[in-house]
Copies of this chain bind each other. A is one copy, B any other.
Amino acid sequence: MTEPRDAYRHFHPITTRWADNDAFGHINNVQYYAFFDTAVTAWLIARGFLHPTEGDIVCFVVETGCRYFRPLAFPEPVTVGMRLEKLGTSSIRYGLGVFGAEGPAAATGHFVHVAVNRASGRPVAIPAPLRLALTQL
């Protein structure tokens, strides 16, 4: 069910925070989505494909999901693995895995973006440069 590191192509390191741990002393299930959101957004921003306040195109999140295999806890840092799972005309499905210091993914998930026009909010075709970068992910 879980997956090894080599099932992913790009890796984004994230430091955990004290308040990520909930009352059970483990990183709360919600925070894994902050890890996904951060890894995907950082990848897009670093390549110039997304900007919070500029550009014609923004990406809306339309679906996310996560399966949890073993608990993680602050202060252990995590690494998010990313890969492309599906590329449609306007939509991108990323596959994601959250790794602790060692072992297979503690959690795996997916994250679906739809490219939309910033002003209208209507779906638009994924621009060619982003499409090319994604096919290499």
Interface residues of A (CB under 8 A from B): 13-19, 21-25, 28-31, 33-35, 37-38, 41-42, 45-46, 52-53, 58, 60-68, 71, 73-75
9 chain-A/chain-B pairs, Cβ below 8 angstroms: A13-B15, A14-B17, A18-B28, A18-B34, A29-B61, A30-B30, A30-B37, A42-B74, A64-B65
Chain B residues closer than 8 Å to A15, beta-carbon distance: 13-15, 38
What is the CB-to-nearest-CB distance from A57 to chain B, in angstroms, rounded to a whole number? 12
**Bound Cα distance A14, B14 (Å):** 8
Q: Which of B16, B28, B73 contacts A19 (CB 8 A)?
A: B28
Count copies of this chain in the complex. 4
User: Is the CB–CB distance between A29 and B37 below 8 Å?
Assistant: yes
**Bound Cα distance A62, B14 (Å):** 22
Among A14, A18, A61, max chain B CB count under 10 A is at: A18
Chain B residues closer than 8 Å to A34, beta-carbon distance: 17-19, 30
Contact flag A65-B68 (CB < 8 Å), given A15-B13, A25-B53, A75-B45: no
Nearest-CB residue, chain B, relative to A121: B71
What is the CB-to-nearest-CB distance from A60 to chain B, in angstroms, rounded to a whole number? 7
3 closest A-B pairs by CB: A65-B65, A23-B52, A29-B61
